[in-house]
Amino acid sequence: MLQRTRGSLVVINPNEVLSNSKLAVVSAQKRSAEWALSSLHSDHEQEIKQLKLEKDELQMTKAGLVEDLNVLKVRADLLEQEKKAANLKLNEVEQTAVDRVDKVVKACNSLEESLNSEVEQLRNQEMENAQKILELERAKSERDARVSELEARLQARVERLKELETFFAEKKAELDDVVNMKRTISELKDENIKLTDRLQLQENRTILPAKFDMSGKGAAHVVKLEMELDRLRVAYKTLSKERAGWLITKEENNDLRNEVERLKQWRQRALIAENALSENKNELPTTSPLIPGLHMSDFSPARTAQLQRENELLLAEQGELSGRVNELQTTVEELTSQVQCLTEQNNKLTKQLSSSNAVCDYQKADLSSTIIRRTPVTELESERQVLVDLRHRITELEEHLRSSEEERQILSERLESLNMKGEFDPKTTKVLTLKGNPAAQVGENLFNEVTYLRRENATLRQRIKVLEDCVVRLREKKSESDSLIGDESTVGSVTMVVNDRLKDNPDPLTELASVREQLRVERLRGDRMMEMFDKASSKFRHTCRELFGYRISMESAEDVKVLSMLDQDPAGCLLFKRTDGKYVLKETDYVRALPDNVRSLLDQSLPGFFATLTLHQLNQMTMLA
């Protein structure tokens, strides 16, 4: 193989390159083996030292055990002597011991019966208290639901009253317009009657009295006035419907009063239940004769105080509801008085219409009996012009009325949409924002109470178990007829045994908390180890890239990507796949472009392949330079 370097030719033997690469590989393997051997030697020395230390410790423990064995032998001799003396004493006090054991067993049996009865009483009392608490909670939930329903209904009533007030204002304005329109209708109707009579008696007209007005209007205008009269009648019907609606709201307010009365009854029931609970609490004994320090007042004081606070809150809410009901009653009375005023105005308008109809009939009869003279043509032309002007004016007013109706409809739709979105008038409505959620506080109190009761139940169960074990042991002692001293110590140390058992078996909740804390510490330690491993692996990859000139990345568990730092081609990467414990190079365009002497080393040695590839890339860089 010939290579040209800056004007000179260098002959490179491939066998020498292969041998050099193999020597480099062997030297690297030798260095790694020496390093591994040195590390194993140091580990072996450390293990030997540790085993020597353990051997010394075992010898020391053996010497201590020998000394303990000698001491135990001496004690055994002393115990044999004491046993002989005790046997002599036992023969003397055997009869008295049997009598005293019988008395102790009887006392234990009576104590056991009393303990069982007290435990049953405590369980029954706890069951009754739990049932009462459940009943109170059920009553409280029903009251809360009822109060929320009443509040919703009150809110609906308030919104209904607001709508009725706005509707009342609109209807009042419409009634004012109706009064004005009726006045104009009466005038136009009179003029229409006059004009029709004049047109019918054109040929026989005479001079009219001065009291009659000569201005008139056409028949079409009269039809329009009749339509306006029909519209006024429809408005009167709508007013009557609104009055019926007011009566319905009055009945609903009566229903609301009935609901308030029911709420008062629920409050009385809650007070009765609270008094019964306090009486039961007073009837219970203050301390338990079995377990000193256990007070019966520790069962539900927080629950009782909580129920008292809830009753006070319900009383306050009831006062607010009664105030709202009074306000609604006053508003309903005011609106009923306004409706009565409207009905009176309507009656007055009907009377005015009837009187105007009577006047029209009288004037019609007077016109029919009066001879009318012919009017000149100039007056007819002027009257026609007046009719045309009035028609234009009426059309303009109708258009204005139509546009105002459309605007009113649009505004009412906007108001309804704003009400649906939750908008309110700050002048009439005040929004209260609670800083603390009462439901969350109640839930937290219940959770604390449940945890306290669970701990107390666990301690009581442990005490009961210890007492049962003591009773079983006493019965066994009775059957075996042991010594009096042992029996007396067993009977007198019941409380000490209970306390020792409680120390040996702590609260499961505290154990669970400690286990969770240990788990959290282990997780933090594992995360720290993973971070250290990531840093070490990244540092190792960086070192390999700087020393050997290759960047290695794991695409998957079986695929490896190798990129040379000397190759300028971005696509010049080598892809290896692990099959049967060996790495096999995948065929790519870059691999096919490699020379044969480089590719021939793949089956022989991968380190030799990479060394030859590095030399090839260096030669390529030298030739390009």
pLDDT tens digits for 234-248?
766 776 677 676 767
Residue bearing the bigger pLDDT, 12 or 297 = 12
Query: What rounded mean pLDDT belongs to the chain?
Result: 71
Lowest mean pLDDT among 31-45, 264-278, 400-414: 264-278
Question: Which conformational region is residue 580 in: left (phi greater than 0), alpha (psi within -120 to 50 degrees), or beta?
Answer: left
244 belongs to a structural domain: yes
520 found inside a domain:
no
- pLDDT, tens digit, 9 for 90 and up, residues 188-216: 667 667 666 666 654 444 443 433 344 44
Confidence band, pLDDT 50/70/90 cuts, at residue 481 = low
What the block records as the tokens of 511 is 């154990």
- The more confidently predicted of residues 86 and 340 is 340
Examine the domain organization and report whether 202 and 293 are in the same domain.
yes
5-21: average pLDDT: 61
State mean pLDDT over 551-564: 82
Round to whole Å and give the CA distance between 296 and 140. Answer: 25
Q: How confident is the model at residue 505 (pLDDT cuts 50, 70, 90)?
A: low
Mean pLDDT of 394-406: 83
- pLDDT surpasses 70 at 502: no
Cβ atoms of 12 and 3 within 8 Å: the answer is yes
- What's the CA gap between 277 and 293, in Å, rounded? 23
Q: Using DSSP, how many helices (H) and how many strands (E) does the chain show?
A: 11, 6
The percentage of the chain sitting over the pLDDT mark of 70, rounded to a whole number, equals 60
pLDDT in tens, 326-338: 777 777 777 777 7
Share of the chain above pLDDT 90, in %: 0
Write out pLDDT tens, residues 34-87. 787 777 777 777 878 877 887 777 778 777 777 777 777 777 777 777 777 766
pTM of the shown model: 0.23
Q: Both 199 and 210 in a single domain?
A: yes
Residues 177 and 222 in one domain: yes
Residue 601 domain boundaries: 549-624
Q: In the predicted model, what is the mean pLDDT of residues 210-225?
A: 49
User: Is the confidence at residue 410, as pLDDT, over 60?
Assistant: yes
Are 361 and 403 within one domain? no
Q: What is the pLDDT, as a whole number, of residue 12?
A: 55
Beta strands 573-579; 559-564: pairing state: antiparallel
**Do 402 and 482 belong to one domain?**
no
- Quick one: 256 and 189 in the same domain? yes
Q: Is the pLDDT of residue 507 over 70?
A: no
Torsion angle, alpha carbons of 224, 227, 229, 232, to 10: -130
C-alpha count within 13 angstroms, C-beta hemisphere, residue 323: 6
384, 400: one domain: no
Q: If you average pLDDT over each of 3-7, 131-135, 155-159, which comes out highest?
A: 131-135
Query: Which tokens hold the place of 555?
Result: 């695409």
Highest mean pLDDT among 122-126, 274-278, 589-593: 589-593
Query: Are 363 and 394 contained in the same domain?
Result: no
- 484 and 557 both lie in a single domain: no
Q: What is the CA radius of gyration of the chain?
A: 55
> Domain tally for the chain?
4
Quick one: 190 and 323 in the same domain?
yes
* Whether residue 176 is found in the same domain as residue 223: yes
Digit-coded pLDDT (tens) for 442-476: 778 888 888 888 888 787 777 777 777 777 777 77
Please state the rounded mean pLDDT for residues 295-308. 57
- Tell me which of 34-38, 283-287, 428-432, 531-535 is least confident: 283-287
| Mean local confidence (pLDDT), 332-360 | 72
pLDDT over 60 (residue 482):
no
Indicate if the pLDDT at residue 269 is higher than 80.
no
Kindly state whether residues 416 and 369 are assigned to the same domain. no
Cα–Cα distance for residue pair 185/222, rounded to 1 Å: 9
Specify the pLDDT at position 547: 82
- The mean per-residue pLDDT over the stretch 112-129 comes to 77
SS3 content of the chain, % helix, strand, coil (to 5): 80, 5, 15
Q: Look at 93-97, 256-260, 406-410 and tell me which has the smallest mean pLDDT.
A: 93-97
DSSP letter for 561, please. E
Would you state the pLDDT for residue 78?
78
Domain membership of residue 515 (yes or no) is no
Report yes or no on 592 lying in a domain.
Answer: yes
Mean pLDDT, to the nearest integer, of 589-601?
83
